[in-house]
Structure 1
Amino acid sequence: MTAGRLTRVLRKVFFTAVALVSLFLGGVVCLMCQVLAGRDAPTYRVEGHVVAHERGTLPVGGDEDSVSQAVDLDAAGRHYRVTAVDPGLDLPPGQPVTLDVSTADGTIAYLRAGGGVVDLRPGVVRPVLLIVAALLALGAVYFGAVRLNVYPPVATWLALALGAVLAPVAVFVRV
């Protein structure tokens, strides 16, 4: 195998690798943006009541004695089960509750009972950190690809465009 042919093969392999990494990192960014959008999606209010309540231990952050609350709720003909460490979920069966249900994915965003409000939405720190890390990695991949002069900048932009076009597909195909 000649050096010229080896270089062409390596360029094709490297271009394919950059395109696949672009696809993966673009998918991570899209998925985390979808998580953040779902977190802050509009909600609708539903009245219901507590069906059952359980207490248990759930190791959180190295604390083996954290008390978790599991509450079964019936609201608007639908059954919900909520588990969290929040003491605001210590509700007796039969307690009337009001749920703010997300229009994006049907999960409970807020639970209101007895004058208290429990925020059940996922946090924002992890998705934001994953978005930042994926964008930094994507920038490093493209900087390295152009800096190494393995292939011309036009191919870099083609890989970026391929990743950007296929990333939403990866988000919506996820299981």
Structure 2
Amino acid sequence: MTVDRATRVLRKVFFTAVALVSLFLGGVVCLMCQVLAGRDAPTYRVEGHVTAHERGALPVGGNEDAVSHSIAVDAGGRQYRVTAVDSGLDLPPGQPVTLDVSTADGGIAYLHAGGGVVDLRSGVVRPVLLIIASLLALGAVYFGAVRLNVYPPVATWLALTLGAMLAPVAVFVRV
């Protein structure tokens, strides 16, 4: 095998690897954008009452004394189950509650009971950190691919532009 042929084979293998890594990192960015969009999606209200309440030990962050609360809510024939480490969920059976249900995934965003509100949405720190790390890794992959002359610079910018245009479409089509 000549050096020229080995170089062509190596470029094809590296090109495929760059494409697969780019696809994976772009998928992570889209998924985390979807998580953030679902977190702040519109909600609708459902009224119901607590049908069951359970307490359990749930070690969180090294705290062995943390107590989780699980409640079951009957809201007009539909059953919801909520589990969280929050004293606001320490509700007796029969307590009237109002749930704010997400239109994106059907999860419960807020629980209103007796004048108090419990926020049950997931946090934003992990998705934002994953988006930043994936974009930095994607930039490093493309920079390395251009430096090794696997992709011409025009193709790299075209791929980045196409990815930037398709990511929001993929996220909001699901929502």
1:147 matched to 2:150? The reply is no
Aligned residue type for 1:126: R
Structure 1 position 50, deviation (Å): 0.3
Q: Is the counterpart of residue 10 in structure 1 residue 10 in structure 2?
A: yes
SS in 2 for 1:139: helix
Query: Which residue number in structure 1 is paired with residue 77 of structure 2?
Result: 77
CA 1:63–1:128: 2 relative to 1, 3 Å: same
The residue type equivalent to 1:144 in the other structure is: G
Which residue number corresponds to residue 57 of structure 1? Answer: 57
**CA deviation vs aligned residue, 1:124-167 (integer Å, no higher than 9, x gap):** 01110010010000001011111223342244346547866887
Residue in 2 that maps onto 1:20: 20
Distance 1:161 1:32 in 2: 19
- Is 1:36 matched with 2:36? yes
Match in the other structure for 2:88: 88
- How far apart are 1:72 and its partner, in Å? 0.7
SS at match of 2:72: strand
CA-atom RMSD in angstroms: 2.3
Structure 2 gap segments, 5+ residues each: none
- Amino acid in the other structure paired with 1:81: R
Identity of aligned residues (%): 87
Counterpart of 2:138? 138
Task: Go from structure 1 to structure 2 and tell me whether the alpha carbon gap of 1:22 and 1:137 turns closer, same or farther (over 3 Å shift).
Answer: same
**Distance in structure 1 (CA, Å) of the matches to 2:141 and 2:127:** 21
TM-score, normalisation: structure 1 = 0.89
Gaps of 5+ in 1: none
What amino acid sits opposite 2:93 in the alignment? P
| Worse-superposed segment, 24-33 or 149-158 | 149-158
1:96–1:113 Cα contact (<8 Å) kept:
yes
Write the distance in 2 (CA, Å) between the matches of 1:5 and 1:163. 32
1:168–1:23 distance in 2 versus 1, CA, 3 Å: farther
- Structure 2 counterpart SS, 1:68: strand
How many residues are aligned here?
Answer: 172
Partner amino acid, structure 1, of 2:115? G
Partner Cα distance (2:156, 2:163) in 1:
11
Residue 89 to residue 55, structure 1, CA distance change in 2 (3 Å): same
- On the 8 A contact 1:27/1:170 being kept in 2, the answer is no
Confirm whether residue 66 of structure 1 aligns to residue 66 of structure 2.
Answer: yes
Shift of 1:63: 1.0
| TM-score normalised over the length of structure 2 | 0.89
